[in-house]
Structure formats: C-alpha cells, structure tokens
C-alpha cells in the first residue's frame, strides 16, 4: 500500500546531474490505476522507511566482474532525492549473484531481466540489482514495472540520479513526458488522465512517442514549461 500512496508525491529535486543519452527501460503500464482518493492519505509529518536490498552480479566463478559498488553511497544518493520528501531509504544489506549470464543483461527486448528479478529476490524490500551493462546500447537502468519492487542498474550508473529515477518507477511514478495515456495539455486541463497522471508536474513534451527515453530535457518554446529538474 505504501507505494500506492507515493504516487502523488512530486519528486522535484535540484541538481539531478542528468546525463544526456541515457535510456530508461522501464515499461509503461497500459492500464494505470489512479489513486486520487489517497492523495492526502499520507500525513505530512510522517516518514516512510523503505528497505532496499542490493544484489550484485558477479562472474559464475565468484570473482568480481566490476569494482564492487559501495551500497552505502548508493543509499545516500537515493536519500538525497527522497528524504526531503519524508521517504527514508534504508540499506537492508546485499548479496552476490554468481552468474555470468546476467553480467550484460538482455533486458529491454529479452527476458533475462525476468530471470534476474526472480533470483535471490527478497520479500518486503525494494530489490536493487546491479549488473555490468545492458545488451541494448544506451540503457542504463530499468524498473521491472510501475509500480514494482525490483529495479536493475548498470554498475557505472548506480551512483547517478537514474537510480532515483528507477526507484521512482517502483513507487508508481511515470515519465513526465509519457504519452501512453495521452498527451498532457499545456494548460494541464487533462493532467489527471494524460501524461504522467500527476497534476503538479507541468506538461512535458519530451520526445513525444518514446516511453523509454529519459534523455529528453526540453529546451524551450511551444508554450511548455516543464520542470527540468524533475527526476522523472
Ligand atoms: Zn524511466
């Protein structure tokens, strides 16, 4: 239930260190559920603690395939974005997955991500998998779904704002430029059933038809006034 209540939290943050050309592979839900009745269910003074458990993929022989990430640093990075909104990320621990097949993950058009997400998966936490890379060029991370309890990042981007972006998907946040549910009008008149389905994020033209590209920061014109520092 927690993740559903988080839908209406605007994650508007400063200095996301966004890097152009990065692609998010999270699929967009085709029948999103709108929980408008819960918009004010979460008290402003109450904090949510979210446990994140890390799974680090290694070579099958148990040797490290990449420099081991510091999961405390990743947790700190996530808290930089979420704790100002009373969502506290807790490092719940980590394990290793010794399987070379997962090192370069065939996720966007393959099914290896499903296999990975069912490996060592823990209940009651967000499972944060770390691989060396993705088969599809440009993909740096993805959540299993919006919402979900599972995400995967490539190691070199685990400390970037994309991790917070994918965690946002886990909490049911969509891309602000999403058009699967319709194009959000500039005046926001259809904000509750188009775009990202959230009304306090202005219409974002992004790249229009793409539902995987998070590299599209709008540069001006056309009457749009999106929030360039929104991690989604
Ligand atoms: Zn995304």
Per residue, what are the HEC states of 174-191?
CCCCCCCCCCCCCCCCCC
Domain 46-170 fold is: Collagenase (Catalytic Domain) (3.40.390)
Cα(16) to centroid of ligand 1, in Å?
Answer: 14
- Residues 83-129: pLDDT tens digits? 988 899 999 999 999 999 999 999 988 889 999 999 999 999 999 99
Spell out which residues have Cβ within 5 A of ligand 1, the ion. Answer: 24, 26
Cα(208) to centroid of ligand 1, in Å?
Answer: 14
CB 199 within 8 A of CB 174: no
Cα(169) to centroid of ligand 1, in Å?
Answer: 7
Cα(142) to centroid of ligand 1, in Å?
Answer: 7
pLDDT at 35: 59
The reported pTM is: 0.82
Residue ranges of the chain with per-residue pLDDT less than 50 = 1-20, 37, 39-41, 207-218
Cα(166) to centroid of ligand 1, in Å?
Answer: 6
pLDDT at 163: 96
Domain residue spans of the chain: 46-170, 176-232
pLDDT at 108: 84
pLDDT at 43: 53
Residue among 139, 161, 106, 150 at smallest CA distance from 213: 139
pLDDT at 34: 66
Residue among 127, 55, 134 at smallest CA distance from 98: 55
């Amino acid at each position: 239930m927690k993740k559903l209540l988080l839908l209406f939290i605007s994650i508007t943050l400063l200095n996301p260190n966004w890097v152009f050309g990065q692609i998010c592979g999270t699929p967009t839900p085709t029948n999103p559920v709108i929980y408008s009745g819960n918009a004010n269910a979460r008290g402003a003074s109450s904090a949510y603690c979210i446990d994140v458990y890390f799974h680090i993929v290694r070579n099958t022989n148990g040797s490290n395939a990449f420099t081991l990430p510091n999961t405390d640093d990743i947790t700190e990075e996530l808290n930089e974005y979420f704790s100002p909104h009373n969502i506290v990320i807790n490092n719940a621990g980590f394990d290793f997955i010794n399987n070379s097949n997962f090192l370069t993950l065939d996720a966007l058009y393959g099914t290896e991500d499903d296999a990975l997400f069912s490996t060592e998966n823990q209940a009651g936490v967000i499972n944060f998998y770390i691989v060396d890379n993705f088969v599809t060029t440009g993909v740096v991370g993805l959540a299993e779904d919006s919402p979900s309890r599972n995400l995967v990042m490539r190691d070199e981007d685990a400390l970037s704002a994309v991790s917070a972006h994918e965690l946002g998907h886990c909490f049911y946040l969509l891309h602000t430029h999403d058009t699967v549910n319709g194009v959000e009008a500039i005046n926001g008149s259809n904000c509750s059933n188009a775009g990202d389905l959230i009304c306090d994020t202005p219409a974002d033209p992004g790249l229009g038809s793409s539902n995987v590209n998070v590299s599209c920061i709008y540069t001006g014109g056309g009457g749009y006034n999106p929030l360039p520092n929104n991690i989604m």
